[in-house]
Amino acid sequence: MIHNIRGYGFGMNLTPRDVTISWLPLYHDMGLIGTMLGSIYHGQPLALMGPQDFLARPSRWLWAVHQYRGTVSPAPNFAYEICARKIPDEELEGLDLSSWRIALNGAEAVRPETLERFSERFAPYGFKPEAHFPAYGLAEASLAVTFPPPGRGPLVETLSRETLESEGVVAACGAGETPMTLVACGRPLPDMEVRIVDNHGKVLEDRRRGLVEFRGPSSLESYYNNPEATAAAKDADGWVKTGDLGYLSEGELYLTGRIKDIIIKAGRNIQAEDVEDIVASVKGVRRGCVAAFGVEDDKEGTELLVIVAESRLKDEGAKNELAGKIEKEVARRLGVPPDRVDVVKSHTVPKTPSGKIRRSECKKRWIDGSLKASGGTIAQLQKVVFHGLSQRLKKLVGMPRQLVRSAWCYACLGTSIMIPTVFALISKRGAQKLMGPVARLYLKLVGVHLDVRGEASFSEPCIVVCNHCSTLDALVLTATWKSPLTFLVAPWVTEHPLLKRLIARTGHIPVHRGDPEVAEQQEKEFVERLSRGESLAIFPEGGIEVTPGLRPFALGAFRLAAQNGVPIIPVALTGTRKAQPYPKMIPFPTPVRAIVGSPMYADGDEWQHVLELSNQSREWMAEYCGDPLSHRRLRRND
């Protein structure tokens, strides 16, 4: 991901003087990586707005560029189309877009007509046509694959549609042929490679349409837990199959569509997006609300070309007339008439949250007869409002149950602390022995199921080290170990009003950092405790952080083990972060696991032996606890 962020920064000539404006959702790769993370990495100011703000009033996007003097702002093609066609002139009075130098267009097919309309509409407001930046990328590349040179503007090529669809060859449009215009998406970013192959994986020459493949340092390693999908998408040499169709010309990538959106009709490979673009040009059709797809025709051995187009027309006669116009226009411009044209109500064609047509879903609903209008903006708003109200009502209904559970857990926790604290007045050793059974009982009472793997005991004094990711960890470790443990406790814990008496009376050791004299006295006490047969329990990360990751270990415990010839026994806890996220004190009823490792001994008492012992236990713990190794040390205030 960092490689890709660097690469697209190079491709756009980004500097800290640039300002990024974005309304893209942060769960989308272009929103998260392309705007937020990229702005952080390159040190740029970033102005964010929600996608709902743009969709409700598209002019807000342009005014954000104006207000913050934005220089970089990305969006899919449909957003530029909406702005060019639908924003009233009165909403643009005083708008200045002259600062906008990178108007990145990606995430779907880039239409040259859209770029031309946008340039025409906003040239009076300072927008420069050379700011258009058609790009190509996909999630499997982290984000970006090809970029054009900044400031060049769109590079458009006109070719013969019939020759491309029937022969896969890029040729000039002759007399009587249908022209097809495509926009270049630029050249590969640094260290990225792009090639075009046929169905058998053979590399094709320039200006031959085929399957687009890429490889580079930012390409996917694998699909999560899906080796079959990984093998299908990526070959042994690292080339990733994108599912897109296109060709190369003088090093520039031109995209012609996607494999799954091809409709095979009369021996031609017709792209669904091209059909939709033609239909959208017919007066009476809602632009951006058309779906074209192929349905298998077993009798003819080909596919039926089906078009679903939204319109605001209500009269059935007018709808039939519009369907006839659509059929004629598609036949005139494509050379192939559609087999079925359905004119439907507004909000019938399914879309993604970002406004893309969901062709596969539309086809599925059309086939099974469930394609119907969603009810429009008002109905959708009502749905959102009622959903929100129902969720709040569920929370209100659930509050008494939550309150009862909280009261129960706090009562169990208080009792579990009080029993050994009071018993210590009679017998300190007895209280220490009591803590394990009490901890196990507490976990059962609050619904936390503890699964212990390995031998949780040792006949001689030892030092138990454990990962630390929850306020529940010490209690789980106490419940895990069969004999009493003496914990080395952080200062804030020793001062906690609920815990300080328990810690003082049961002999756990407060750790004070930073004072050499105190540290020397503490070390003597540790050695004395080990010589008395006690086993010490230490969290070598030194504390808890919310962010997952196994932090670097402090070396004190390992130096103590090496110098005194006692073993380190690592314990890996899993599930405690989910059971009781820091800094909560009430657990969720969920399973947790403690995995106990074999004793580890230092090969000597030199510094290198201490370091080797620490690394050995940390690597073991990382393997079993599920958290990745982190190289950032824990931030501490004590």
DSSP string, 143-171: SEEEEPPTT----EEEEEHHHHHHH-B--
Q: Is 454 left (phi over 0), alpha (psi -120 to 50) or beta?
A: left
Half-sphere exposure of 183 (CA within 13 A, CB side): 24
Q: Give dist(CA 214, CA 520) in Å, integer.
A: 60
Q: What is the pLDDT of residues 155-190, one digit of tens each?
A: 999 999 889 988 999 999 888 888 899 999 999 999
Interior/surface letters 113-151, b for 16+ CB within 10 angstroms, e for the rest: bbbbbbbebbeebebbeebbbbbbbbebbbbbbbbbebe
| In the predicted structure, residue 384 carries a pLDDT above the cut 80 | no
Q: Which residues make Cβ contacts (< 8 Å) with residue 315, sequence separation at least 6?
A: none
Q: What is the pTM of this model?
A: 0.54
CB neighbour class for 321 (10 Å; exposed up to 12, middle 13-18, buried from 19): middle
Nearest 10 degrees: Cα torsion 277, 283, 287, 292: -50
Contact 143, 4 (CB under 8 A): yes
Q: What is the pLDDT of residues 181-226, one digit of tens each?
A: 999 999 999 999 999 999 999 999 999 999 999 999 999 999 988 9
pLDDT, position 465: 97
Model confidence band, residue 391 (pLDDT cutoffs 50, 70, 90): low
pLDDT, position 3: 95
Average pLDDT, whole number, for the chain?
90
Q: What is the pLDDT of residues 107-145, one digit of tens each?
A: 888 989 999 999 999 999 999 999 999 999 999 999 999
Amino acid at 584: K
Q: Give dist(CA 549, CA 602) in Å, integer.
A: 25
| In the predicted structure, residue 513 carries a pLDDT above the cut 60 | yes
**Does residue 24 or residue 373 have the better pLDDT?**
24
pLDDT, position 394: 65
pLDDT, position 611: 94
Q: Give dist(CA 349, CA 80) in Å, integer.
A: 20
Contact 550, 618 (CB under 8 A): yes
For 393-460, give the secondary structure using H, E and C. Answer: HHHHHHHHHHHHHHHHHHHHHHHHHHHHHHHCCCCHHHHHHHHHHHHHHHHHHCCCCEEEECCCCCCC
Contact 249, 170 (CB under 8 A): yes
| In the predicted structure, residue 4 carries a pLDDT above the cut 80 | yes
Q: Say what percent of the chain tops pLDDT 70.
A: 93
Q: Which residue has the tokens 């070309």?
A: 305
CATH topology agreement for domains 2-258 and 405-625: no
Tell me how far CA of residue 443 lies from CA of 176, 467, 537, in angstroms.
80, 19, 20
Say yes or no: domain 405-625 is CATH 3.40.1130.10: yes
Q: Is 391 left (phi over 0), alpha (psi -120 to 50) or beta?
A: alpha
To the nearest 10 degrees (0 to 180), the angle between helices 77-86 and 112-122 is 40
Q: Give dist(CA 369, CA 67) in Å, integer.
A: 48
Q: Give dist(CA 53, CA 415) in Å, integer.
A: 52
Q: What is the pLDDT of residues 296-354, one digit of tens each?
A: 876 656 688 999 999 999 999 999 999 999 999 999 888 888 999 999 998 899 987 65
User: Considering just the CA atoms, what is the radius of gyration of the chain in Å?
Assistant: 33
Contact 594, 476 (CB under 8 A): yes
pLDDT, position 386: 58
Q: CB neighbours (10 Å) of residue 352?
A: 10
pLDDT, position 378: 46
From the list 178, 86, 94, 192, the residue with the least C-alpha distance to 138 is: 192
User: What are φ and ψ of residue 61, in 5° steps?
Assistant: -60, -50
Q: Give dist(CA 489, CA 505) in Å, integer.
A: 14
Domain positions in the chain are 2-258, 284-374, 405-625
Nearest 10 degrees: Cα torsion 150, 151, 152, 155: 80
To the nearest 10 degrees (0 to 180), the angle between helices 607-625 and 556-564 is 120
**Which architecture, in CATH terms, is 2-258?**
3-Layer(aba) Sandwich (3.40)
Model confidence band, residue 495 (pLDDT cutoffs 50, 70, 90): confident
Q: Which residues make Cβ contacts (< 8 Å) with residue 546, sequence separation at least 6?
A: 581, 582
Average pLDDT over residues 241-261: 92
Question: Could you say which of 3.40.50.2000, 3.30.960.10, 3.40.50.1820, 3.30.300.30 is the CATH number of the domain covering 284-374?
Answer: 3.30.300.30
pLDDT, position 298: 61
Contact 136, 186 (CB under 8 A): yes
Q: Say what percent of the chain tops pLDDT 90.
A: 70
